[in-house]
């Protein structure tokens, strides 16, 4: 999931402004891949553990001394739509833990990059909830 310019972004009750993008990536953390004796092709594959990584890029207009820190955990949510109308808007939410906060100097200005991992409530339930808000 890639959302460019989300309307609103909140982490642990703190509204983040100037968010350029939110990327929610689902990756395999543990895979099973088996080959048969008959040939070189995979005959079985499964993902037995997965992970949801979240990357948020914010544009900074001034010096910032405060912000999220590794280990911070909270409800991360953002609202996104696909047009100028109220139709098609969704709210994406998840509990997330901050892993890394870095800063980059780009031709477009200074960017803060916050990397997080989403946490499931029970290890079975998908940690990401998407709800229609139209």
- pLDDT in the model for residue 61: 85
Segment 1-10 long-range contacts (CB within 8 Å, at least 24 positions apart): 1/92, 1/128, 3/78, 3/80, 3/92, 6/78, 6/79, 6/80, 7/78, 7/79, 7/80, 7/81, 7/89, 8/78, 8/79, 9/56, 9/76, 9/77, 9/78, 10/75, 10/76, 10/77, 10/78
126: domain CATH number? 2.30.110
Q: How confident is the model at residue 89 (pLDDT cuts 50, 70, 90)?
A: confident
User: Has this prediction a pTM greater than 0.85?
Assistant: yes
Looking at residue 88, what is its pLDDT?
A: 77
Provide the domain count of the chain.
1
Residues in the chain: 134
7-11, 19-23, 82-86, 93-97: the lowest-pLDDT one:
82-86
Domain containing residue 123: 2-132
pLDDT tens-place string over residues 1-51 = 999 989 899 999 999 999 999 999 999 999 999 999 999 999 999 999 999
């Amino acid at each position: 999931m890639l959302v460019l310019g989300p309307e609103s972004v909140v982490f642990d009750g703190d509204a983040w402004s100037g968010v350029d993008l939110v990327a929610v990536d689902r990756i395999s953390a543990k895979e099973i891949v088996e080959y048969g004796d008959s040939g070189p092709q995979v005959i079985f594959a499964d993902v037995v553990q997965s992970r949801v990584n979240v990357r948020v890029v914010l544009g900074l207009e001034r010096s910032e001394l405060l912000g999220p820190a590794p280990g911070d955990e909270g409800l991360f949510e953002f609202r996104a739509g696909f047009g100028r109308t109220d139709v098609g808007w969704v709210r994406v939410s998840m509990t997330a833990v901050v892993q890394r906060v870095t800063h980059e100097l780009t031709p477009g200005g200074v960017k803060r990059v916050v990397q997080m991992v989403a946490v499931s409530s029970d290890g079975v339930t998908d940690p990401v909830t998407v709800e229609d808000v139209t």
